[in-house]
A and B are shown apart, each in its own frame.
Chain A
């Protein structure tokens, strides 16, 4: 008995030392400054503040660091996560409530390592998991731009999460398991445009944070890059090069059109979170940078992804109808069809080309071909309001107009008529979406 205790007493420090060593090793900071490919919209020679503005847009910082109607970059946006709600922070240069006291070193560490000025861990809702690839020069250009913004005095809101998730130190273990500090490594075997696209998508635009499936630890699953995930009820589609389930069959011009305007004719219109990404960020990227993004996207390994969607551009409902009339379809739900006639047909039209603008086109989109109806429900509830290149793109929100059963019937009708599939939306799901 005594001997056994002795063994434990010897083993314990050894285990602790090994554990601490492993923790330190897995949490090590990549000491490299990192070298970023030169972006067409922000050449290294240009003014650092102008460069920072472009990079801040490309990284879409504003998407999270503002509330609807709030002051830009003053934070406060709620992230409802399975374990509680956390709020984005004030990144205006206000010294007391913003980032005004951050030194260069502290700012770089926060952005690339997820550790804020007081040494505490940030939650990976802030995508340091992607920004870790940024070059030091680019991070400091972003800082230079942010420090030119008006100081907004707005204290950060306390997170509302319970034990143990409110223990920020515990994120060190999450980082040890799922995060590796590293800089972007150009691939010498690929073209300059490909490398630029990889840096734009991975380090800046952080596409994978929504489009890459999450693993059991809620981290991006490296093996299925951009294969599609569901975020707050919205489906971030599979955008791998898979011709059937991804965007492999889209011509380059269609992908570029989608990224820079939020719409690709006959293929889809960005709404929900992707609409915001276009609205705040992608539409401002230089055409050559968009083209680089497309070059890189083309090479993302094809994956089928979870709940794959197959687009049927010739669904029976589409073939039977014309702009003004639905055609006869005895299998359609009466409630769904009546709702569509009253609220939707006058803009979208029965055969789905979109009456006013091509953005209202429904035919051939993935949303209407997804039996789960996730994005159709989202758009019906929230509508669309974005401004792209001097054009307002608007659809009213119907959350207050229709009850849960009506939204479900309408969404299932849209999936049936435009996608030729049996929609599975239930009123209970609609109620859940309203709460998100």
Chain B
């Protein structure tokens, strides 16, 4: 039995030590908000936080997690950065098909927690490991700026007739 602390709750799971966390989250515990994308830590869709840092859960064996706190998309709204990111995401309609967005939001929240006012270059560098098949990158960047500054951006500006 392994005990994993996920979103503030302890979960006893009976899984092999080399099982990646993503399988435990989705198939064993039933937290399906985190998505399977490539399976080789190349696309970012499965990003969760381990001790506050973004990790790719598809390549993270449960044996290396230990007592570290895991946060998934289901609970990221409970953190100040996660809440602001989710609000900005809705305001800007960042999402298109949505498959990658759990991972995008987890990476964006981690960036803001570490760098509260990121530049475009910061966003590009920190978000480059999260791939979006619908190419919502421009809105992702705006969403992060909006979550950081609290000022509305993008199409909202045109509708409101207000300059950022």
Contacts and interface: CB of A to CB of B under 8 A. Distances in A.
B128 A324 contact: no
B88 interface: no
A356 B53 contact: no
A108 B76 CA distance: 65
Q: What 10 A-B pairs are tightest by C-beta distance, nearest first?
A: A346-B129, A324-B126, A341-B128, A390-B18, A356-B59, A341-B125, A342-B128, A325-B122, A326-B125, A325-B125
Interface stretch (B1-9, B24-32, B37-45): B37-45
Nearest to B42: A396
Interface string A303-326: 000000000000000000011111
Interface string B106-145: 0000110011001000101110111000000000000000
A102 B53 CA distance: 59
A396 B40 contact: yes
A357 interface: yes
B77 interface: no
B21 to A, nearest CB: 10
A176 interface: no
B129 A325 contact: no
Nearest to B128: A341
Contact of A347 (B41, B63, B64, B118): B41
Contacts of A350: 125
Contacts of B124: 341
Given A322-B114, A323-B114, A324-B114, A346 B60 contact: no
A322 B17 CA distance: 30
B154 interface: no
Categorize the interface residue count of chain A: 10 to 19
B114 A356 contact: no
B33 interface: no
Nearest to A326: B125
Contacts of A391: 18, 61, 63
B110 A324 contact: yes
Contacts of A116: none
A394 interface: yes
Interface residues of B, number: 28
25 contacts: A322-B114, A323-B53, A324-B54, A324-B110, A324-B122, A324-B125, A324-B126, A325-B114, A325-B122, A325-B126, A326-B125, A341-B124, A341-B128, A345-B125, A346-B44, A347-B56, A355-B55, A355-B56, A356-B56, A356-B60, A357-B59, A390-B16, A390-B63, A391-B61, A394-B59
A346 B128 contact: yes
Interface in B44-82: 44, 53-56, 59-61, 63-64
Contacts of B42: 346, 396
Interface of B: 16-18, 40-42, 44, 53-56, 59-61, 63-64, 110-111, 114-115, 118, 122, 124-126, 128-130
B56 A394 contact: no
Contacts of A342: 128
Contacts of A187: none
Contacts of B56: 346-347, 355-356
A392 interface: yes
A342 B114 CA distance: 20
Interface in A392-424: 392, 394, 396
Given A324-B122, A341-B124, A350-B125, 12 more contacts: A324-B125, A341-B125, A346-B41, A346-B56, A347-B56, A355-B54, A355-B56, A356-B60, A357-B59, A391-B18, A392-B18, A396-B42
Contact of A324 (B44, B64, B115): B115
A394 B60 CA distance: 11
Nearest to B16: A390
A392 B54 CA distance: 20
Most chain B CB within a 10 A radius of its CB, from A323, A346, A392, A396: A346
A357 B41 CA distance: 11
Contacts of B118: 325
Contacts of A345: 125, 128-129
Contacts of B55: 355-356
Contacts of A326: 125
Given A324-B115, A326-B125, A350-B125, A355 B18 contact: no
Nearest to A390: B18
A355 B111 CA distance: 14
